[in-house]
Structure 1
Amino acid sequence: METRARISTGVDGDVWRVTLDRPEAGNAIDLALADALVTALEQRPADTRAVLLLGAGPRFCVGGDVAGMAAADDRPGFIGALAERWHDAVRAVVGSPVPVVAGVQGAVAGAGIGLVGACDLVVCARSTKIRPAYGAIGLSPDGGTSWALARTLGAPRALDLMLTNGTLSAAEAHQAGLVARLVDDEALVVAATELAHQVAAGPVRAMVRTRGLVRRAATTTLHAQLDEEARLIVESAGDDEATEGIGAFVDKRAADFRTAP
């Protein structure tokens, strides 16, 4: 019986590092991993300003724990409970009060794709393969995978990928916008860490407002988006981040957003 922790965490300056830590199973998602990811995000130290999400071992996340599904006496109940808890984890990423940066490598499959799609910035190793894989085991998607793929690829390409059990290369994922940056495999952790620290040095509350605007843009009208932009820029203007940023611009110095409480 497995006893190792499914998630490891640590503070790296002002970055909260969260690592999927089930490498012997490709970081396959079981209830323990889903629970641990939710807990890790909830326990982010208040003085950290960004989350860095990584996967231990050669594969970022191969999706749901198929071995556990096969062994379950009540398979629909088992899968339903797992999907529900994993959706809590995806919602925690989407709703994080600080930006979330991910570094992904090797393989991203199944519900791991939904996790990637929930992050704000994704750095991807060039050799990574992305495969929904649900069709191979007779299941429909979960974890936000259909949402992430439809938004980035468009419905025709997303359906082609999912209905034919296809695979995206890292370059194709980058071209489509599923991942933000491509790097050589050996540079992944360094590049993702540097990006997380860069983001943490910025106006994180303004970044979170920006994230919300961008995510809602695909499903709202221009007039509604303009109203929301007006509301949020006023909210930002009353924030200490704007006081520091505007003051630094006028003073011709670099802004230090860490000083904005």
Structure 2
Amino acid sequence: MTSPTDRPRVATELDGDVWTVTLDRPEAGNAIDPAMAAALAAALDARPAGARAVLLLGRGERFCVGGDVRAFAGADDLPAFVGRLAEDWHAVVRRLLDSPVPVVAGVQGAVAGAGVGLVGACDVVVSARSTRFRPAYGALGLSPDGGSSWVLARTLGAPLALDLMLTDGTLTAVEAHRHGLVARLVEDEELPGAAVELARRLAAGPVRAMVRTRGLVRRAATRTAAEQLDDEARLIAESAADPEGREGVRAFTAKRPPDFRSA
């Protein structure tokens, strides 16, 4: 029998055209260690060409509790260990931010530490109502990593983000939804089905236009209106030249549902 230590940290499955990637270390709350970072990066790189969306899940009661503090404690050189792990984890976050297809996350239980940044790198997040979100760095005497300071500042605003992080506070799922950290809130028992349904819906859509839309939305906060208008004009022209755009226009004029998968 495979022990929890030997079992792969991440499980993958192609469900139609959805590439499901599941953090699979439930006995440790899906805590992040070097093996988890490497496995998740490899899973995202292994997305089949036909997969039109990624669905990120966490097995067990907790989605991701952040860094593996037990591994920190056992490191011979703590600064070097933590620094390397942060760099490896940031490579994972960058893969999600730059994903060529939409990324959906379904989260439950606990989202803590670098898990907050992981969630923030996804395009649409579905949360179970009982989920709690906690930066958790202050209790360890550490500053944030994993993109958590970026996503919390963007969603909560600097005053609330600082209040949360400096006091080692916790957000309920309702609060996370209210502030925009998560897009959808569902009852706990509905989470798996809701996340899968959403991922399938996005996979059936114009995924290249969705990726352009993601870029526009993320860049909007740091641009002038004029800069945004210029980028919108350029990207909508690209979308119109794309087979998806052509199919969408044809379907509209023919009064039929578009078939973006075939496009």
**TM-score of the alignment, normalized to the shorter chain, above 0.5:** yes
> Within the alignment, does 1:227 sit opposite 2:218 as a pair?
no
| Mapping 1:233-244, distance limit 5 Å | 233-244=236-247
Which letter does structure 2 place at the counterpart of 1:133?
Answer: A
Partner Cα distance (2:196, 2:225) in 1 = 35
> Within the alignment, does 1:15 sit opposite 2:18 as a pair?
yes
Which letter does structure 2 place at the counterpart of 1:150?
Answer: A
> Where does residue 189 of structure 1 map in the other structure?
192
Helix, strand or coil: the match of 1:258?
Answer: coil
Helix, strand or coil: the match of 2:261?
Answer: helix
Which letter does structure 1 place at the counterpart of 2:54?
Answer: V
Task: Compute the displacement of 1:135 (Å).
Answer: 0.1
Helix, strand or coil: the match of 1:97?
Answer: coil
TM-score (norm 1): 0.99
Identity of aligned residues (%): 72
> Where does residue 172 of structure 2 map in the other structure?
169
> Where does residue 146 of structure 2 map in the other structure?
143
Task: Compute the displacement of 1:83 (Å).
Answer: 0.2
Which letter does structure 1 place at the counterpart of 2:106?
Answer: G
Which letter does structure 2 place at the counterpart of 1:202?
Answer: G
> Where does residue 68 of structure 1 map in the other structure?
71
TM-score (norm 2): 0.98
Task: Compute the displacement of 1:156 (Å).
Answer: 0.1
Could you give the per-residue CA deviations for residues 131-185 of structure 1, whole angstroms, max 9, x where no partner exists? 0000000000000000000000000000000000000000000000000000000
| Mapping 1:1-261, distance limit 5 Å | 2-260=5-263
Which letter does structure 1 place at the counterpart of 2:47?
Answer: R
Identify unmatched segments of 5+ residues in structure 1. none
Could you give the per-residue CA deviations for residues 66-100 of structure 1, whole angstroms, max 9, x where no partner exists? 00001101000000000000000000001100000
Task: Compute the displacement of 1:254 (Å).
Answer: 0.4
Aligned length: 260
Task: Compute the displacement of 1:221 (Å).
Answer: 1.1
Which letter does structure 1 place at the counterpart of 2:56?
Answer: L
Which letter does structure 2 place at the counterpart of 1:168?
Answer: L
Helix, strand or coil: the match of 1:47?
Answer: coil
Task: Compute the displacement of 1:256 (Å).
Answer: 0.7
Task: Compute the displacement of 1:114 (Å).
Answer: 0.2
Partner Cα distance (1:214, 1:64) in 2 = 29
Task: Compute the displacement of 1:206 (Å).
Answer: 0.1
